[in-house]
Amino acid sequence: MAKIIGIDLGTTNSAVAVVEGGEPRVLENAEGNRTTPSIVGLSKSNERLAGLLAKRQAVTNPQNTIFSVKRLIGRKYSDKDVQNDKKWLPYELKESASGGVEIKMADRWYTPEEISAMVLTKLKTDAEAKLGEKIEEAVITVPAYFDDSQRQATKNAGEIAGLKVRRIINEPTAAALAYGLNKQKDEQIVVYDFGGGTFDISVLEVSNDTIEVKSTGGDTHLGGDDFDKRINEYLVTEYKKQEGIDISKDPLALQRLKEAAERAKHELSTSLETEINLPYISSDSAGPKHFLMKLSRAKLEELVKDYIEHSIELTLKTVKEAGFKLNEIDEIVLVGGQTRMPAIQEAVKKAFGKEPHKGINPDEVVAIGAAVQGGILQGDVKDVLLLDVTPLSLGIETLGGVFTRLVDKNTTVPTAKSQVFSTAADNQTSVEIHVLQGERQMASDNKTLAKFILDGIPPSPRGMPQVEVTFDIDANGIVNVSAKDKASGKSQSVHIEASTSLSKDEVERLKKEAALHETEDKKKREIVELRNNAESLVYLGEKSLREAGEKVSAEIKEVIQKKIDALKAVKDSNDTEAIKRATEELSQEVQKIGQAMHGSSQGPAQPGPTASSTDGDK
């Protein structure tokens, strides 16, 4: 079945995502980028260009390079916004017969739908190449404030591009979908979307699986590009002050500066200071000139402070218009690359007194939400088959009270994992399987789910029997644990139905506890493991001495016996260094016998995991 793609058709950039195997992912375009400039051009050789290529030729061909068409689509020519935009757009506009807008590219007039369709065609073609299959259907997003005419026009653009538009959804709704907020009950959500060229704020209400837009606001001419411009202006002015040279007239210098400024902006999202280093930016009679300047996060924040404040004012206004108080807002979602700026995240957090959602790449979250909607329409597997995960790790207790995990937390079920264990003492004929759940390192700190005994193991030296323990979890979370002695074929098993009955809070509490005790638990486990090692080495040493008989001289035997006694003396202490040292020394001596008595050392005799584990789903 053909896939339904999700398209974020943006003012400056667009992105495409698709749900595959229940997970949404963004599709790279032909140039290998995850976003595509929403630009179309007709080159001088009459070739139609879209995306990055159209952008690259824009300066030589401004009248025939169309961008920001989203500002025009579905609007009347007489619309105030159209008239305002007309003043700064470098291409020609006129009124169509029906009162709409027409755009001139080369010697032909196009409707905004047709131009938008060219962007969509590029997105569709690239997505098809990436997926290796034909795409026929799509979900396209639009701003929440788009009216019927603008929505219809966007839908038409999709149809012109050869896409059946299954649904037009709001950008903020898509963002909320991407975070799975549609599953919430009766919540108020604010979506703060600071894109490249526009700032949109939306207040949504979720109830009964529907998302309703309560109010919208923002500034259609405020975006991350304005931040870049401010930084640029600042750098040019500072440079003029320092060197007395105006580089704003040199296109390459300006381009280099622009890119460096953008990179500096990105870097300042994670570091407090960055350096802009551009050697040979220009030259005068005195020789080449270099550009070297430090930019701090504080300076950047100072440069754009008014923009951020303005955006917060607009946000508060929009929430008020929706008829809500600030403390009634349950969730805040950040969208748009500019929201990576820590100062913006702080300002939003301060305004609402809540941590905003920001886990998903803010440039891609809308496309991902559109893909999720596409997945729902398609009835993707996820809808029919909700796969669960194990909330906590499962495993058994091994020698020294250590908790050995077989199934890690967050493993998708159904699943089966098995591992081979052995005995801890000579002639041990039964093993106790103690099934536990939790994240702590020691068995006693975790929750017991079941205990059972496998007996009838033929008597043999410690470490020899192979007991395979298998955890099998079905789709309902019911755990079946079985233990089987490979030699005798005897087996025992237990059913555990309550393994997932822990409440969400309980799971969280257990995870937190584990994190809290991590270091101390690790130390405890390390000591136990050292002790286990020491014990098996003592065992091996004594056994070797017994078996060596006459083949080894009395002197060597005596040395080894001494080392064994030394290790025995320290192994139960908490002095890890002493245990390590004594183990090391004994190990070296024992090897001497081993070399003489080939075959006496038969691998790890430790009753921990002794064979590779196998897993697979059932």
Partner 1 sequence: MNMNEDNIKELEQIKQEREEYLNGWKRAKADFVNYQKDEAKRREELVKFSNEYLIRDLLPIVDSLEMYLAMTADSKEKKGVEMIYAQLVGELTKQGMEPIKALGELFDPALHEALGEMEAEQPSGTVAAELERGWKLNGKVIRPTRVKVAK
Catalytic residue among 8, 126, 485, 535: 8
CB of 57 to partner 1, least distance (A): 4
Half-sphere exposure for 315 (CA within 13 Å, toward CB): 25
Residue (58 or 343) nearer to partner 1, CB = 58
Catalytic residue among 171, 439, 472, 535: 171
Written as one letter, the residue type at 535 is E
Catalytic residue among 3, 55, 70, 563: 70
CB of 54 to partner 1, least distance (A): 7
Residue (9 or 260) nearer to partner 1, CB = 260
Whether residue 320 contacts residue 201, with contact meaning beta carbons closer than 8 Å, is answered with: no
Whether residue 490 contacts residue 457, with contact meaning beta carbons closer than 8 Å, is answered with: yes
Q: Are strands 187-194 and 331-335 parallel, antiparallel or unpaired?
A: parallel
The stretch near partner 1 (CB under 8 A) out of 15-23, 325-333, 335-343, 406-414 is: 15-23
Catalytic residue among 85, 114, 187, 193: 193
CB of 12 to partner 1, least distance (A): 17
Residue (16 or 392) nearer to partner 1, CB = 16
Q: Give the containing element (helix H, strand E) for 150.
A: helix 148-160
In DSSP terms, 213 is beta-bridged to 204
58 belongs to the binding site for partner 1 (CB under 8 A): yes
All residues at 6 or more sequence positions from 508 whose CB lies less than 8 Å from its CB, including other chains: none
Site for partner 1 in 117-176 (CB under 8 A): none
Count, residues near partner 1 per rule CB under 8 A? 30
Q: Is 193 a catalytic residue?
A: yes
Residue (60 or 237) nearer to partner 1, CB = 60
Radius of gyration of the chain (CA): 34
d(CA 203, CA 229) in angstroms, rounded, equals 29
Among positions 46, 80, 209, 287, the unique one binding partner 1 when judged by CB under 8 A: 287
Among positions 20, 136, 273, 330, the unique one binding partner 1 when judged by CB under 8 A: 20
Residue (287 or 603) nearer to partner 1, CB = 287
Residue (1 or 515) nearer to partner 1, CB = 1
- Long-range contact pairs involving 573-578 (C-beta distance under 8 Å, separation at least 24): 574/527, 576/526, 576/527, 576/530
Q: Is 155 a catalytic residue?
A: no
Site for partner 1 in 365-394 (CB under 8 A): 381, 384-385
616 belongs to the binding site for partner 1 (CB under 8 A): no
CB of 385 to partner 1, least distance (A): 6
Among positions 90, 288, 456, 458, the unique one binding partner 1 when judged by CB under 8 A: 288
3-class SS of residue 78:
coil
> What is the DSSP code (8-state) at residue 95?
E
| E strand spans, 220-284 | 273-284
CB of 363 to partner 1, least distance (A): 17
Whether residue 194 contacts residue 227, with contact meaning beta carbons closer than 8 Å, is answered with: no
Site for partner 1 in 59-118 (CB under 8 A): 59-61
Pattern 244-283, binding to partner 1, x per CB under 8 A? -------xx--xx----------------------xx--x
d(CA 554, CA 593) in angstroms, rounded, equals 12
Site for partner 1 in 28-57 (CB under 8 A): 31-32, 43-45, 49, 53-54, 56-57
CB of 572 to partner 1, least distance (A): 49
Written as one letter, the residue type at 92 is E
Nearest alpha carbon to residue 374 among 166, 180, 208:
166
Exposed/middle/buried for residue 219 (C-beta within 10 Å: 0-12, 13-18, 19+): middle
d(CA 140, CA 120) in angstroms, rounded, equals 10
CB of 255 to partner 1, least distance (A): 6
Q: Which residues of 580-604 are buried (b: 16+ CB within 10 A; e: fewer)?
A: eebbeebbebbeebbeeeeeebeee
Half-sphere exposure for 604 (CA within 13 Å, toward CB): 13
Q: Is 8 a catalytic residue?
A: yes
Residue (23 or 506) nearer to partner 1, CB = 23
CB of 28 to partner 1, least distance (A): 10
Neighbours of 383 (CB within 10 A): 12
Residue (298 or 389) nearer to partner 1, CB = 389
Residues in contact with partner 1 by CB under 8 A are 1, 20-22, 31-32, 43-45, 49, 53-54, 56-61, 251-252, 255-256, 279-280, 283, 287-288, 381, 384-385
Residues noted as catalytic: 8, 70, 171, 193
